[in-house]
C-alpha cells in the first residue's frame, strides 16, 4: 500500500494530471476560437463546410474542411499561445549567460604539467 501511495503522491504524476486537466479545458477554448474564425470565413467566402463539394466525382470536401480547420487551429495556437509565451519567458526569465566553470582538479593538473615542463631534462 505504501508503494501505491508513493506512486500517487510523486510529483510527476500530480503534475501530469494537472496538465491533462488544463489541456482539456484549453482545447475547448481553442475549438471555440476556431469555430468563430470558421464563421468569419463563412461570412466572407460562403459556407465554411465544404463536405458536399465533390469536384470530378471525388469527395474531397470533408478533407478540405478539416484541413482549413487544422490551419486555423495551428494559427490560433501559434499566435495566441506560443508567441506570447516566448515573449513573456524572454522578458521575465532571461537566459543567463553561460559561465565557465573551473574545475580545481583540472587547474591542479595544469599547474603540475607546467611545473614538469619547466624542469630541466635530466
- pTM score: 0.50
Per-residue pLDDT tens over the stretch 18-43: 788 888 888 888 888 877 877 787 77
Per-residue pLDDT tens over the stretch 67-96: 887 888 888 888 888 899 889 988 888 887
Query: Of the ranges 91-95, 98-102, 105-109, which one carries the lowest mean pLDDT score?
Result: 98-102
Whether the CB-CB separation of 50 and 62 falls below 8 Å is answered with yes
Lookup result for grid cell 506570447: 84
Whether the CB-CB separation of 66 and 81 falls below 8 Å is answered with no
Residues 11 and 96: their CA atoms lie apart, in Å, by 27
What secondary structure does DSSP assign to the chain, as a single string? -HHHHHHHHSHHHHHHHHHHHHHHHHHHHHHHHHHHHHHHHHHHHS-S--TT--GGG---HHHHHHHHHHHHHHHHHIIIIIHHHHHHHHHHSPPPPPPPP--HHHHHHHHHHHHHHHSPP-
Amino acid at each position: 500500500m505504501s508503494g501505491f501511495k508513493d506512486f500517487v503522491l510523486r510529483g510527476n504524476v500530480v503534475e501530469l494530471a494537472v496538465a491533462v486537466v488544463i489541456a482539456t479545458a484549453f482545447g475547448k477554448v481553442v475549438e471555440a476560437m476556431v469555430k468563430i474564425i470558421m464563421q468569419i470565413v463563412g461570412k466572407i467566402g460562403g459556407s465554411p463546410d465544404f463536405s458536399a463539394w465533390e469536384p470530378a466525382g471525388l469527395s474531397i470536401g470533408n478533407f478540405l474542411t478539416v484541413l482549413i480547420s487544422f490551419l486555423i487551429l495551428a494559427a490560433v495556437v501559434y499566435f495566441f499561445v506560443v508567441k506570447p509565451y516566448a515573449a513573456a519567458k524572454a522578458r521575465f526569465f532571461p537566459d543567463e549567460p553561460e559561465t565557465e566553470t573551473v574545475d580545481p582538479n583540472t587547474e591542479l593538473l595544469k599547474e603540475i604539467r607546467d611545473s614538469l615542463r619547466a624542469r630541466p631534462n635530466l
